[in-house]
Amino acid sequence: MPKIDYLHDGTEHEYEASMWTLVLYEQEFKRDLIKDVYGRIDLRNASKNFDEDGNMVAMDYTVDNWIGELRAFWAMLRTSSDIARDEGRAADEVPSFDRWSRQVSRAAHGVDGGINMGEISQAVFNECNRGLFHTGAAASE
């Protein structure tokens, strides 16, 4: 399982995407994780975000579902914790999303810049691809 120090306090936390993550997400939020994280990306006008030399000149932060990515990250932390407990390993206690959000906000308050949403967004996207869309399954006959 990957680990991340999302509060930049020297403590790494395991997170994992699996079928259980999808179930947790739907139970907690009554929403679909895949729809919230991936949504729909329209690349037809992407060239307008780059100058003639290919340098990015604009970034549209409105196309990401930032709260959805935080919810997905929480569900991945919770998945990792649940699996560790099922296997008899020590695990972080991951409270409800509301309580976790308040704890993260308090902890990040003293950190220069707080949490890094870009880092969390990338971690969520990479882990969803690894845990939910990997192609390592054997071909059926």
DSSP symbol at 14: E
Strand partners, 4: 13
Residue 18 confidence (pLDDT): 96
Query: How many other β-carbons are positioned within 10 Å of the β-carbon of residue 82?
Result: 17
Averages of pLDDT over runs of 10 residues in the chain (141 residues) are 88 95 97 88 57 67 80 98 96 94 79 76 92 68 48
Residue 44 confidence (pLDDT): 59
Strand partners, 3: 14
pTM for the structure as a whole: 0.80
Residue 55 confidence (pLDDT): 72
Residue 45 confidence (pLDDT): 56
Residue 95 confidence (pLDDT): 95
The helix/strand/coil state of 39 is coil
Residue 63 confidence (pLDDT): 64
Residue 83 confidence (pLDDT): 96
Residue that the structure tokens 């709260």 belong to:
67
Cβ contacts of 57 within 8 Å, gap of 6 or more: 49, 50, 51
CB 17, CB 131: distance < 8 Å: yes
Residue 61 confidence (pLDDT): 57
Token reading at 68: 């959805």
